[in-house]
Amino acid sequence: MLRLLLLLLGKVLVSSFSTPSFSTPSIYHRGDLSALSSSATDAIVVGSGVGGLTASLLLTSLYDRSTLLLESHPTSLGGVAHTFAIANRRGQFIFDAGPSLLTGLSKPSLNPLRQAFDMSGTTMPEMIEYDGWQIHSFGTREEQGVGADVDVGSAPQDGKFWLSYKMSTSDFSSSVHQAFGREAAELFTSFTSTILSKNNLYDASGGIPPFALRGDKLAFVTLASYYLNLLRIGPIMGNTLTGTFRAVYDRLVNSDNSDRLVENSDNSDNSSPAERFLRNHFDYLSFALSGYDMARTQAAPVAYMVGDLHLPGANINFPTSGGAIGPIIDAMAEKIEQHGESTIIKGTTVTSLIMEGGRCVGVNAVDVRGEMVSYRSEGGVILNVPIWSVPAIIRATINETAGDEKRALNEKLVNALFLAKTSKRSGSFVHVYIGVPVDDDIDIEEIHHSVIMDWGKPIDAKQNMVIISIPTVFDSSLAPEGFHTIHAYTAASDDFNEFAPFLKDEERPRSSEDGEFADNNCYKNNEYSKLDEYNALKMKQAQVLFDAIERVIPDIRERVKHDDAVVEIGTPLTHRRFNRRAFGAYGPGVDEDGEVWTLLQTGDLNIPGLFLAGDSTFPGIGIPGVASSGTIAANSFVGVGEQLREIKRGRKEKILQ
Ligand SMILES: Cc1cc2nc3c(=O)[nH]c(=O)nc-3n(C[C@H](O)[C@H](O)[C@H](O)COP(=O)(O)OP(=O)(O)OC[C@H]3O[C@@H](n4cnc5c(N)ncnc54)[C@H](O)[C@@H]3O)c2cc1C
């Protein structure tokens, strides 16, 4: 049993954190920075990404803790999930900087963000429910896995051609049948049916809500509410869920045991077209989720996604107004600030921790005026920042500490440096944000498109996959009349190091014998050096985005020449600067041996009163994942009795499984 828990929770269970006691929170007033600086709140959360917002939402509105949320960005909340506007004489173009594909939010579900809303009594914005997205893929018949029963017309000289099909949540097997043939559709159906069958991988992956987890050994007590689910999962299933999805694929498709789905298959290029299709498809889904193919993506989130996309009633969600993520971020911020003793401050970058008696009791920061400010907290601090930004904060803390405190902290620093160094990170992004006139000549049916540039290459090859979102398909108010907004990006497959030489010396990530770490104050400007060369590289790297958009709007390169068109290209440096993401990274990477992610847990820094959250911690990248990490961090702030009371209520009200 212990082994299973450890497998499921990793190191969540081994933190040395002890539950803090709380004094009556001090009351302070919004906008009164000096009063705020000297008073103490129950909790400080650093970073308003979805992870930090979820932690703050639950601390304030579920657990009634006074909370101060500090955000470095001067104007936007949400981290990579922020919304921004570009205006010209035609009006405003509203863009989602990052995520726009959301599931399980429109009604009560297993999605941890939806559960955080429901548990805290926060109203989810009204949502459109829709049926999927379009995939465009390029390659030969063999590379794409197109069966002999599909007529692809006259093959061009090199045998490569484009396929376009719908990733439909209601009837994907029909799309597969049409594009890849009968065998592919049958294999897909039997594969997903096995995953979705009772007590199989999907059930197990969603068996334990993050509300039952916490960052200390008392997790045994809160998990006891899910004893039966844990028993059902069992050690073998636990092992499978924490292994790679490739292992699941191999077991179900290639094994010679009773789970076998097809005969005589293997991993080589001799595999049947149907297997090639299935492998491509799950490599693609894994890559969209984690930035890696299925051989380096954990099975649990992929199994969960299979249910999210293919169970009866599955659908995708988009708010009826305001863009994909902005209304969700606004709803969370509004609710947090309704808690009379809590507030959110933007433009404030945390630079170091305040330590007392070996415990973290607050933070030092630079505020929007460039002045040093300090904030104290009775209960501790949640750092919802990428792990690669943490060593600089600890380094500065050491410099500001003396005596025994300093000696003790030095060990923590070594630990934090080690963790940051060994926490692998994925690649970065090139983005383009476009506003263009689109007339009746162009029929854009789908809001989302994935373009796989060449199945002759691995899915994670540089710039091989482009994701496109055209939110004005659903909400024309996001652009001036007659215009569409488009966001396209290469997901996690662009190289930060290619662009790093254009940073000014003082803004480059530091190198040391321990490795490279971002400096927290490196986001001041965009005056890159060798600007002409930078712009040339930027244009060169963005071409693939236009090539991909041509699948949807064939004359996009002409349309962007319109006088009132908007075109903004973002490089890995832009991604780093606007999102405060060290190295412009998407999120955590995988171990050298290519196995699954080694993910940090909320208490891993082993500094009492300090917790980690966000996408470099368990369970990883994605809106559901970071909402889980924020939930686990918030639970760690309260006593077990309080957490158990909420689990009981959540189950009674059918909010939690
Ligand atoms: C382009 C893109 C598309 C995506 N698409 C999807 C999708 O469709 N669906 C999905 O589920 N997921 C998607 N994801 C993944 C998902 O958006 C992220 O995993 C998640 O939003 C990360 O949230 P976070 O809270 O961990 O971190 P972040 O969003 O990085 O938030 C961290 C916050 O901390 C702040 N900060 C950093 N340092 C400091 C400091 N020292 N002091 C104060 N503040 C600080 C930053 O400014 C930032 O606001 C996408 C991600 C990207 C980049």
346-376 tens-digit pLDDT: 999 999 999 998 899 999 999 988 899 999 9
424-478 per-position pLDDT tens digit: 888 999 999 999 998 877 889 899 999 999 999 999 999 999 999 999 999 999 9
Q: Are strands 359-366 and 349-356 parallel, antiparallel or unpaired?
A: antiparallel
483-497 per-position pLDDT tens digit: 999 999 998 999 999
CA of 421 to the centre of ligand 1 (A): 20
pTM over 0.75: yes
588-597 per-position pLDDT tens digit: 888 766 666 7
600-644 per-position pLDDT tens digit: 889 888 899 999 999 999 999 999 999 999 999 999 999 999 999
Rounded CA-CA distance 85/333 in Å is: 19
Return the pLDDT at 261.
41
For atom 48 of ligand 1, the residue with the nearest CA is 79
Q: Are strands 83-88 and 566-570 parallel, antiparallel or unpaired?
A: unpaired
Backbone angles phi, psi at 466, to 5 degrees: -120, 135
Return the pLDDT at 32.
42
Ligand 1 atom nearest residue 50's Cα = 25
Is pLDDT of 23 > 70?
Answer: no
CB atoms under 10 Å from CB of 193, counted, come to 13
Q: Is the CB of 242 under 6 A from ligand 1?
A: no
The secondary structure of residue 53, as a DSSP letter, is H
Q: Is the CB of 206 under 6 A from ligand 1?
A: no
Rounded CA-CA distance 585/85 in Å is: 23
Q: To test ligand 1's pocket by mutation, which of 82, 385, 468, 581 has the most ligand atoms within 8 angstroms of CB?
A: 385
Mean pLDDT of the chain: 87
Report helix, strand or coil for 49: strand
Which residues lie below 8 Å from residue 497, measured CB to CB, with a gap of 6+? none
Rounded CA-CA distance 123/335 in Å is: 9
Contact between residue 70 and residue 375 where contact means Cβ atoms under 8 Å apart = yes
Rounded CA-CA distance 176/147 in Å is: 10
Residue type, 12: V
Rounded CA-CA distance 420/412 in Å is: 12
Q: Is the CB of 98 under 6 A from ligand 1?
A: yes
For atom 37 of ligand 1, the residue with the nearest CA is 385
Q: Which domains does the chain have, with CATH numbers?
A: 8-79+326-425+598-650 (3.50.50.60), 427-584 (no CATH)
Rounded CA-CA distance 215/218 in Å is: 8
CA of 426 to the centre of ligand 1 (A): 14
Identify the residue whose tokens are 């069992």: 234
Backbone angles phi, psi at 134, to 5 degrees: -105, 135
Report helix, strand or coil for 102: strand
Q: Are strands 610-612 and 381-383 parallel, antiparallel or unpaired?
A: parallel
H or E segment to which residue 103 belongs: strand 102-103
Among residues 157, 11, 44, the alpha carbon closest in space to that of 634 is found at: 44
Rounded CA-CA distance 614/637 in Å is: 16
Average pLDDT over residues 57-84: 96
SS3 letters for 350-378? EEEEEEECCEEEEEEEECCCCCEEEEEEC
Burial class (CB in 10 A: 0-12, 13-18, 19+), 320: exposed
Contact between residue 619 and residue 209 where contact means Cβ atoms under 8 Å apart = no
Residue that wins the pLDDT comparison between 471 and 524: 471
Which residues lie below 8 Å from residue 623, measured CB to CB, with a gap of 6+? 50, 81, 99, 102, 113
* Structure tokens that stand for 220 in this block: 């045994």
Tell me how many degrees the CA angle 334-338-339 measures, rounded to the nearest 5: 130
